[in-house]
Protein backbone atom coordinates (compact mmCIF):
# COMPACT_ATOMS: atom_id res chain seq x y z
CA UNK A 1 0.00 0.00 0.00
CA UNK A 2 1.24 3.49 -0.86
CA UNK A 3 1.83 6.09 1.81
CA UNK A 4 1.33 9.68 0.80
CA UNK A 5 1.85 12.73 2.92
CA UNK A 6 -1.15 14.81 3.89
CA UNK A 7 -0.86 18.16 2.15
CA UNK A 8 -2.30 21.51 3.12
CA UNK A 9 -4.44 22.96 0.37
CA UNK A 10 -3.30 26.55 0.69
CA UNK A 11 0.36 25.62 0.56
CA UNK A 12 0.40 22.92 -2.08
CA UNK A 13 -2.44 23.22 -4.60
CA UNK A 14 -2.73 25.38 -7.66
CA UNK A 15 -6.05 27.06 -8.34
CA UNK A 16 -6.98 24.43 -10.95
CA UNK A 17 -6.06 21.50 -8.69
CA UNK A 18 -8.13 23.04 -5.90
CA UNK A 19 -11.03 23.45 -8.29
CA UNK A 20 -10.89 19.79 -9.38
CA UNK A 21 -10.70 18.75 -5.74
CA UNK A 22 -13.70 20.94 -4.86
CA UNK A 23 -15.74 19.34 -7.65
CA UNK A 24 -14.90 15.81 -6.46
CA UNK A 25 -15.63 16.71 -2.84
CA UNK A 26 -18.94 18.34 -3.78
CA UNK A 27 -19.92 15.20 -5.71
CA UNK A 28 -19.15 12.96 -2.72
CA UNK A 29 -20.88 15.30 -0.27
CA UNK A 30 -24.00 15.27 -2.42
CA UNK A 31 -24.01 11.47 -2.48
CA UNK A 32 -23.41 11.16 1.26
CA UNK A 33 -26.14 13.60 2.17
CA UNK A 34 -28.54 12.45 -0.53
CA UNK A 35 -28.82 15.93 -2.02
CA UNK A 36 -28.09 17.05 -5.55
CA UNK A 37 -24.64 18.55 -6.01
CA UNK A 38 -25.35 19.52 -9.60
CA UNK A 39 -25.51 23.27 -9.06
CA UNK A 40 -22.18 23.66 -7.24
CA UNK A 41 -20.44 21.41 -9.78
CA UNK A 42 -22.05 23.30 -12.66
CA UNK A 43 -20.79 26.56 -11.15
CA UNK A 44 -17.29 25.16 -10.75
CA UNK A 45 -17.03 24.08 -14.36
CA UNK A 46 -18.83 27.20 -15.65
CA UNK A 47 -16.09 29.27 -13.99
CA UNK A 48 -13.54 27.21 -15.93
CA UNK A 49 -15.54 27.63 -19.17
CA UNK A 50 -15.77 23.83 -19.37
CA UNK A 51 -19.41 22.80 -18.82
CA UNK A 52 -18.86 19.65 -20.87
CA UNK A 53 -16.61 18.35 -18.05
CA UNK A 54 -19.62 17.95 -15.75
CA UNK A 55 -20.79 14.66 -17.28
CA UNK A 56 -17.26 13.28 -17.41
CA UNK A 57 -16.75 14.07 -13.71
CA UNK A 58 -20.02 12.34 -12.83
CA UNK A 59 -19.04 9.23 -14.81
CA UNK A 60 -15.50 9.32 -13.33
CA UNK A 61 -16.81 9.44 -9.76
CA UNK A 62 -19.56 6.86 -10.39
CA UNK A 63 -17.08 4.40 -11.90
CA UNK A 64 -14.81 4.73 -8.88
CA UNK A 65 -17.60 4.57 -6.31
CA UNK A 66 -19.24 1.54 -7.92
CA UNK A 67 -15.97 -0.30 -8.50
CA UNK A 68 -14.00 0.55 -5.39
CA UNK A 69 -12.18 -2.28 -3.69
CA UNK A 70 -11.78 -0.32 -0.46
CA UNK A 71 -13.17 2.85 1.04
CA UNK A 72 -11.87 5.91 -0.82
CA UNK A 73 -11.12 8.76 1.55
CA UNK A 74 -12.57 12.03 0.23
CA UNK A 75 -12.78 14.82 2.78
CA UNK A 76 -15.52 17.38 3.27
CA UNK A 77 -15.42 20.54 1.14
CA UNK A 78 -14.43 22.61 4.18
CA UNK A 79 -11.39 20.48 5.13
CA UNK A 80 -8.08 22.34 4.59
CA UNK A 81 -6.06 19.13 4.19
CA UNK A 82 -5.91 16.49 1.46
CA UNK A 83 -6.28 12.80 2.12
CA UNK A 84 -3.76 10.45 0.54
CA UNK A 85 -6.52 9.25 -1.80
CA UNK A 86 -7.22 12.82 -2.90
CA UNK A 87 -3.51 13.25 -3.66
CA UNK A 88 -3.67 10.08 -5.73
CA UNK A 89 -6.76 11.27 -7.65
CA UNK A 90 -5.22 14.65 -8.44
CA UNK A 91 -2.00 12.92 -9.48
CA UNK A 92 -3.98 10.65 -11.81
CA UNK A 93 -5.43 13.71 -13.56
CA UNK A 94 -1.96 15.26 -13.81
CA UNK A 95 -0.46 12.06 -15.20
CA UNK A 96 -3.22 11.87 -17.80
CA UNK A 97 -2.19 15.33 -18.92
CA UNK A 98 1.44 14.18 -19.09
CA UNK A 99 0.41 11.39 -21.47
CA UNK A 100 0.95 8.66 -18.89
CA UNK A 101 -2.46 7.01 -19.29
CA UNK A 102 -1.42 3.51 -18.23
CA UNK A 103 0.34 4.81 -15.12
CA UNK A 104 -2.67 6.96 -14.19
CA UNK A 105 -4.96 3.96 -14.61
CA UNK A 106 -2.60 1.94 -12.40
CA UNK A 107 -3.00 4.60 -9.71
CA UNK A 108 -6.77 4.28 -9.89
CA UNK A 109 -6.43 0.48 -9.57
CA UNK A 110 -4.99 0.99 -6.07
CA UNK A 111 -8.57 1.41 -4.84
CA UNK A 112 -10.80 0.32 -7.72
CA UNK A 113 -11.25 -2.80 -9.81
CA UNK A 114 -9.50 -2.95 -13.17
CA UNK A 115 -12.78 -2.36 -15.00
CA UNK A 116 -13.70 0.62 -12.83
CA UNK A 117 -10.21 2.09 -13.09
CA UNK A 118 -10.31 1.76 -16.86
CA UNK A 119 -13.74 3.43 -17.07
CA UNK A 120 -12.69 6.19 -14.69
CA UNK A 121 -9.42 6.82 -16.51
CA UNK A 122 -11.25 7.40 -19.79
CA UNK A 123 -13.35 10.06 -18.12
CA UNK A 124 -10.32 11.57 -16.37
CA UNK A 125 -8.64 11.89 -19.76
CA UNK A 126 -11.77 13.54 -21.17
CA UNK A 127 -11.80 16.05 -18.29
CA UNK A 128 -8.13 16.85 -18.85
CA UNK A 129 -8.71 17.32 -22.59
CA UNK A 130 -11.67 19.64 -21.98
CA UNK A 131 -9.62 21.66 -19.48
CA UNK A 132 -6.66 21.87 -21.86
CA UNK A 133 -8.93 22.93 -24.73
CA UNK A 134 -10.16 25.80 -22.53
CA UNK A 135 -6.56 26.86 -21.84
CA UNK A 136 -6.16 25.27 -18.40
CA UNK A 137 -3.08 23.24 -17.50
CA UNK A 138 -2.62 21.05 -14.45
CA UNK A 139 0.68 22.26 -13.07
CA UNK A 140 1.36 19.28 -10.82
CA UNK A 141 2.22 16.92 -13.70
CA UNK A 142 6.01 16.62 -13.26
CA UNK A 143 5.69 16.55 -9.46
CA UNK A 144 3.00 13.86 -9.69
CA UNK A 145 5.23 11.72 -11.89
CA UNK A 146 8.10 12.11 -9.42
CA UNK A 147 5.94 11.47 -6.34
CA UNK A 148 4.31 8.36 -7.79
CA UNK A 149 7.65 6.95 -8.95
CA UNK A 150 9.03 7.21 -5.40
CA UNK A 151 6.09 5.38 -3.82
CA UNK A 152 5.26 2.76 -6.39
CA UNK A 153 5.78 -0.82 -7.35
CA UNK A 154 8.50 -1.73 -9.85
CA UNK A 155 6.49 -1.68 -13.14
CA UNK A 156 5.13 1.78 -12.47
CA UNK A 157 8.50 3.06 -11.32
CA UNK A 158 10.03 2.03 -14.66
CA UNK A 159 7.38 3.99 -16.56
CA UNK A 160 7.99 7.07 -14.45
CA UNK A 161 11.79 6.77 -14.66
CA UNK A 162 11.71 6.62 -18.45
CA UNK A 163 9.56 9.75 -18.46
CA UNK A 164 12.08 11.62 -16.27
CA UNK A 165 14.96 10.87 -18.62
CA UNK A 166 13.52 13.03 -21.45
Query: How many independent structural domains does the chain possess?
Result: 1
Residue 70, in any domain of the structure:
yes
pLDDT recorded at residue 11? 60
Residue 63, in any domain of the structure:
yes
Burial class for 145, CB neighbours closer than 10 Å (0-12, 13-18, 19+)? buried
Residue 103, in any domain of the structure:
yes
State the distance between the two ends of the chain, measured CA to CA, in whole angstroms. 29
Residue 100, in any domain of the structure:
yes
pLDDT band at 8 (very low <50, low <70, confident <90, very high): low
Q: Residue 134 sits in which domain range?
A: 9-164
**Given a cut of 60, is residue 132 above it in pLDDT?**
yes
Give just the sign of the alpha carbon dihedral 34, 7, 15, 116.
Answer: negative
**Given a cut of 70, is residue 25 above it in pLDDT?**
yes
Amino acid sequence: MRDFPVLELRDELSWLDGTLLAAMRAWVLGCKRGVPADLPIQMIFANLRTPEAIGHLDRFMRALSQGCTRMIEIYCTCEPLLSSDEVLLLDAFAMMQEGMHDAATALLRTFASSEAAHAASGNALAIVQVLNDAGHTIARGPAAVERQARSSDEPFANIAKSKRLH
